[in-house]
Chain A
């Protein structure tokens, strides 16, 4: 891998230990993927929830953050993915004081680097939408797939350590979706039944992601003639990334880039109503008691917050069921100002800011609250949460709310 004089100085430690660690980590990853050189990035987005950091990850951040200020400050704007704890609601969710204490340590360390605590996985809806051709070091698979596909930005999946490294060096190894040749479609799908709601857009994403099954496959999706809204594309992309590790998709006429196959088009895979219904049915549990209803993964946009408020107006959540609604701090402020938070919480639901369910000690919350059956309109969440001991069911927002009121899946 070609290394500039500045990068060599970082590697030699001339710019301090944080940048020495960062560039060494990036060179190891870049060489693994045959990167020829580095590419400057305009932003980094860092996943650093304490559930995945653990004590060891927080201690690592604290060690680096103890460097002199000039050596530890990030060189490009670096923002954060959802955190593990919302200090305003953690006790209601059965999260512990030890979790809150670890979270406070992580936040202090991240602030010492100059990281902007956005705590969101929908920065493209709430902070700043990337533009075509912009090279980024984004974490959170949903953020990457939306930014690459709808914005035409260029980012690989950057895990927390790598996103921090990119923030510290202002660059990232040039491989994968930074390169034109990786952005060409490799798989071809035709959608013959338009999804009816966000849960079905997620189901469609899950079907395509599962069929692709690799980070290095890029689906081209035909048959979507009119533009779905941002929230529909958000659920489509996050589920595709979750089920398939997919980082870029093309929908001709809707996504940012012209998509051309490198050779003859691959075989066409059609997806119809039966496929979407079968995907949803695989998680069905009609009649079961529902322990927790989750609107999250990804965090809710303002429009989704309004939809949840509208569905809950004048209704009460069953006493044996918890409803959790997670959004970004920016949207929470807006929802407070517009009265949406009050309307949602009047039903007994909990609104949390800056967290997302699966990044918030989901296993420990299940044990503390006796939760097993989870209901959600997020296809991404049903894919993730089974490994945490939950039995998940996928349903529309309206069915989720009706079930939360009944205490059983209706």
Chain B
């Protein structure tokens, strides 16, 4: 039986994909090379790693307002994460996800950067407010 975590109702369609997890924050403008599809800010814990088609699991949204435009532009080019799973986002990421039609959830009962691991297969259901880990069993 998959592990299921509950969160606040989110934005965008239900999706399934592979998690990329870090205890770090996020801004599309500050942290990403949006052409190459990698984290580019040297100090970021995911520096050098591709975010394309991954379910990004991070702590908080930070920084400027540009992500609101950028997520849709990235979506149209196909250089975009599959979903965003955060402990807490600011309005910019929520607005950007709504504008782009990108899946976003936040406000869990647990710290998502500890509850999920890189490589987990996740099913994110924003309407239900749930995220399932499909390839791990709950501890006995």
A interface residues with partner B (beta carbon < 8 Å): 25, 28-29, 31-33, 47-49, 51-57, 60, 81, 139-141, 156-162, 175-176, 213-216, 242-245, 358-359, 363, 383-384, 386-389
Contacts and interface: CB of A to CB of B under 8 A. Distances in A.
Nearest to A162: B95
Given A159-B67, A245-B90, A32 B61 contact: no
A143 to B, nearest CB: 9
Interface string B72-87: 1100110000000000
Contact of B95 (A29, A31, A215, A387): A29
Given A28-B11, A215-B90, A159 B66 contact: yes
A359 B63 CA distance: 13
B88 interface: yes
Interface of B: 8-11, 25, 29-33, 40-44, 59-70, 72-73, 76-77, 88-92, 94-96, 98-99, 104
A161 to B, nearest CB: 4
B10 A32 contact: yes
Determine which residue in B40, B63, B65 has the highest number of CB atoms from chain A within 10 A of its CB, and name it: B65
A215 B61 contact: yes
Given A213-B59, A359-B66, 16 more contacts: A29-B95, A31-B9, A33-B94, A48-B69, A51-B66, A52-B29, A54-B73, A57-B69, A57-B73, A60-B72, A160-B66, A161-B72, A161-B95, A216-B90, A245-B62, A384-B63
B65 A141 contact: yes
Given A29-B98, A160-B68, A387-B30, A213 B60 contact: yes
Contact of A53 (B41, B63, B69, B77): B69
B77 to A, nearest CB: 8
A53 B68 CA distance: 9
Contact of B69 (A52, A214, A243, A383): A52
A44 to B, nearest CB: 12
B91 A156 contact: yes
Nearest to B31: A387
A56 B41 CA distance: 24
Given A54-B69, A159-B69, A384-B30, A141 B91 contact: no
Contacts of B43: 386
Contacts of A49: 66
Contact of B29 (A243, A244, A358): A358
A215 B93 CA distance: 11
Contacts of B42: 386
Q: Is the interface of B mostly helix, strand, loop or mixed?
A: mixed
Contacts of A47: 64-66, 68-69
Determine which residue in B43, B94, B95, B104 has the highest number of CB atoms from chain A within 10 A of its CB, and name it: B95
A38 to B, nearest CB: 15
A362 to B, nearest CB: 10
Contacts of B60: 213-215, 245
B29 to A, nearest CB: 7
A159 B65 contact: yes
Nearest to B44: A387
A159 B90 CA distance: 11
28 contacts: A25-B99, A29-B95, A32-B11, A32-B94, A47-B65, A53-B73, A54-B70, A54-B73, A55-B73, A57-B69, A60-B72, A141-B63, A159-B68, A160-B65, A160-B69, A162-B91, A213-B62, A214-B60, A215-B60, A215-B88, A216-B90, A244-B62, A245-B60, A386-B30, A386-B42, A386-B43, A387-B29, A387-B41
Contacts of A359: 66
B69 A245 contact: no
A192 B41 CA distance: 32
